[in-house]
Amino acid sequence: MKCKITIHVFTLFLLLFHSSFLFAKDKTCVDWPKVMTQSDLDQMPKNPSILIQPFVDFTKQGGDDWLVLGLRDYLSDILRAGKNIRVPPIATETKDFTITGKFQHISGNLRVFVSILNGKNGELLKQLEITFSYPGNRDFFVKLSQAATEIIKIAGAKPDTNAIARIRDATASTRAYEAYSKGRQLLENFQPEKSEAASIWFNEAKKIDYRSPLGYTGMINLYTFLGLYHKQRQEPFALYFQKAEEEISQMKKVGIKIDFNKIESKLINDSTQKITDSCVE
């Protein structure tokens, strides 16, 4: 499966590399989770705004715990794909819509219930029910992307079918996506001590589906974060960026086409610089 994919590295990766605030001599740290969250928000439109809550696991079968955040993150990625919907990573602001959900894993089927609520008064606008065989079924991606498309329409935005297809078709393996999602959940703590565990999961995703961009982009994100982290601390960092470039080379070798034109490169704004105030002096 050859796939053209946009490299969605964290939007600050290129920005912070050129930003003076990272290397201020009177700071010994950057509050990375806050910086990354604010950067995501700065890249999004003002409205419509949709907050997606973690999903509730009703059956609590062993090995299903990753779906609590995995389902949320998958829907969030699709909603953000067209760059015309604001999907804050956490409840940091007033929202127009709230998405809540739960899932049941019974007899080899996954039933997912998605509720679309008015973000102002909590009124239920619509409830979706999705059922498919799980694991090992491509319907996981197809049906969830269809549900996300319906949410986009309810929010009054236009679905970007090409962008949605890129996310939907990134892999046909639920096992590969599970491994990627577990690595992503570790990485998005932005704590260097969790990087080794994250890399194990990203490399597992590559082993399961070596022609999917997921594991490679996970490693690119990881190496670039570590490079920036060590550069800010005035420690050796170049090797991490070299490793990120090696991941890109691997993607090319297996036929994954990369659209570098979509990589964000706008200048960091003053409000993001203020986030470092909580760092240790």
Question: Per-residue confidence at 257, pLDDT binned at 50, 70, 90?
Answer: confident
Q: How many angstroms separate the CA atoms of 148 and 74, rounded?
A: 9
Give 182's contacts (C-beta < 8 A, 6+ positions apart).
66, 201
Contact status, residue 173 vs residue 166, Cβ threshold 8 Å? no
pLDDT digits (tens, 9 = 90+) for 21-65: 444 444 556 788 877 777 777 777 788 899 999 999 999 999 999
pLDDT digits (tens, 9 = 90+) for 61-98: 999 999 999 999 999 999 998 788 998 877 666 789 99
Phi, psi of 14, deg, nearest 5: -75, -35
Q: How many angstroms separate the CA atoms of 221 and 206, rounded?
A: 14
Q: Which helix (H) or strand (E) holds 15?
A: helix 12-17
